[in-house]
A and B are shown apart, each in its own frame.
Chain A
Amino acid sequence: MSMSMPRAASKQQTIPLRSRALRITGIYAIVATLWIYFSDQVLFAVFPDAADFTRWSVVKGLAFVALTSLLLLWLMWRAFGAIEKSHAALRRSGSDLRELNVSLEKNVADRTRELEAALIRARAADALKSAFLATMSHELRTPLNSIIGFTGIIQQGLAGPINDEQRKQLGMVRNSARHLLDLINDVLDLSKIEAGELRLSLASFDVRETIERISGLVRPMADKKGLTLELQIDGALDTMHSDRRRIEQIILNLLGNAIKFTESGQITLIAEREPAFRKEADQEPVEALRLLIRDTGIGIRPDDMTGLFQPFNQVDSGLTRQHEGTGLGLAICRRMAERLGGTISVESEWKKGSEFSAILPLEWHETTGN
């Protein structure tokens, strides 16, 4: 018979011990009965006289009691000794268990304290980060306000007449200051997104009107470089519920990049309705706006594709840089698209052109995610 339960195992051990007790008692009863019976017969044969027989019978009884007492003592000695030993072992393992328990509890308490401390530190760091951002924003804008403001005043001739060279150089100061401001704004935008502080302003708006208006903003840039800008907007697209300003920012950035990195040819913006978009494989499919921005520009080398959406990862970085920009545009676009439940991806062939594709749910509510 095999049993695996611990309770059954301990029961298994007690049964042979009890049966041993039963066996010992049984043997004792038989031996004692036979002893009484035969020893009396032997005694009677030796001492037939009644008085002698009685006297020796007492002696025999006392001897029997003494012998059985010794036997009992020996048995109990062994049994109680064994019990005591197992008690001691139990106490030892009990105290081991208690010690283990105490050290476990201490470990758990230590870990909990450490985690709490880490959480408090993380929260403090987060608050510090937000405060730092607000301060940075303020501290950097205050001097820039003077730089841009006074440059503008002198440029406009409000502080007295200036010559053409001075006007040209002031224009450069102004452009640099503007660029610095763009950088500050982009860094702040990105930090706000990373700190989870980017608030969305969700409302319904006309998709076609938005795309046409933003394209209108960049059209002069395309015209200046002799590029054609073609729009193909699906007639089935009408209104969308999302953050209009953020979506405009994404379109503006992607179109701006396409124009910036294309020397000849055309930029095509295709907007279509995507009937079943899933951001994650386990999500319910939703209707979405699919934007494709295709250019015939310099394209992107396969090696440069991976870091493209990382902050400050400009393909033409360093001193050889030819193209203006903060290097944060695509990083911001991707994060914004994600915040609005969508994605941005890119396909490109080096020296042939690039195609950026943004997919954004047509109905986005804060509760839908994030």
Chain B
Amino acid sequence: MSLKILLIEDNEQNRYLLSFLLEQAGHQVVAAVDGPAGIARARTLQPDIILLDIQLPTMHGYDVATALRSINALAGTPIVAVTSYAMPGDREKALSAGCDGYMEKPIDPENFVHQIEQFSHASGSGHDGVLP
């Protein structure tokens, strides 16, 4: 099943990397470079899943997650933080800001797509929502 994925990521290389991996697997990726652009795209796109970097310019990732969560139309859309924050409490902060999952960078290029697909499916069938 092809997924419609919104990717909010400011780093060009990482944006390209994640888009490439996901598109290679047959998914549709729409990228946004910061929070406000991402939120605007999310409203019109109605994605199946949102991948969110946390350290973003102009608007912090946690605030973006909270803003996305407040949009009714996106109530069932899983938000996965894909972040290089790896300090204690970062996972908890991301989850309490409204993210459903948390992935640490660097991502594993062999398993990344599989993890996202699994998360999207599991989330669709209503599990508790935290990636392993």
A, B assembled together: yes
What residues of chain A have their CB less than 8 Å away from a CB belonging to chain B?
Answer: 130, 133-134, 137-138, 141-153, 156, 158-159, 181, 185, 188, 192, 197-199
Do residues A156 and B105 form an inter-chain contact, with CB atoms below 8 A? Answer: no
A138 contact set on B, CB distance < 8 A: 55, 83-85
B105 contact set on A, CB distance < 8 A: 141-142, 144-145
Interface of B is mostly: loop
B12 to chain A, nearest CB (A): 9
Do residues B85 and A134 form an inter-chain contact, with CB atoms below 8 A? Answer: yes
A146 to B112, alpha carbons, bound, how many Å?
13
**Given contacts A138-B55, A153-B20, A197-B88, is CB(A144)–CB(B106) below 8 Å?**
yes
Do residues B24 and A199 form an inter-chain contact, with CB atoms below 8 A? Answer: no
A106 to B21, alpha carbons, bound, how many Å?
69
A62 to B21, alpha carbons, bound, how many Å?
132
A224 to B87, alpha carbons, bound, how many Å?
35
Do residues A137 and B84 form an inter-chain contact, with CB atoms below 8 A? Answer: yes
B88 contact set on A, CB distance < 8 A: 192, 197-199
Size class of the B contact interface (CB-based, 8 Å): 20 to 34
**Given contacts A142-B11, A142-B14, A146-B17, is CB(A188)–CB(B109) below 8 Å?**
no
A198 contact set on B, CB distance < 8 A: 88
Do residues B86 and A149 form an inter-chain contact, with CB atoms below 8 A? Answer: no
Interface of A is mostly: helix
In the complex, residue of chain B having the shortest beta-carbon distance to the beta carbon of A199 = B88
A179 to chain B, nearest CB (A): 13
**Any A CB within 8 A of the CB of B110:** yes
Q: List 26 A-B contacts (CB under 8 A).
A: A134-B87, A137-B86, A138-B55, A138-B85, A141-B105, A141-B106, A144-B106, A145-B14, A145-B17, A145-B84, A145-B105, A145-B107, A146-B17, A148-B106, A149-B17, A149-B21, A149-B107, A151-B109, A153-B17, A153-B20, A156-B110, A159-B20, A181-B106, A197-B87, A198-B88, A199-B88
**Any A CB within 8 A of the CB of B89:** yes
A181 to B112, alpha carbons, bound, how many Å?
17
A282 to B17, alpha carbons, bound, how many Å?
57
**Any A CB within 8 A of the CB of B72:** no
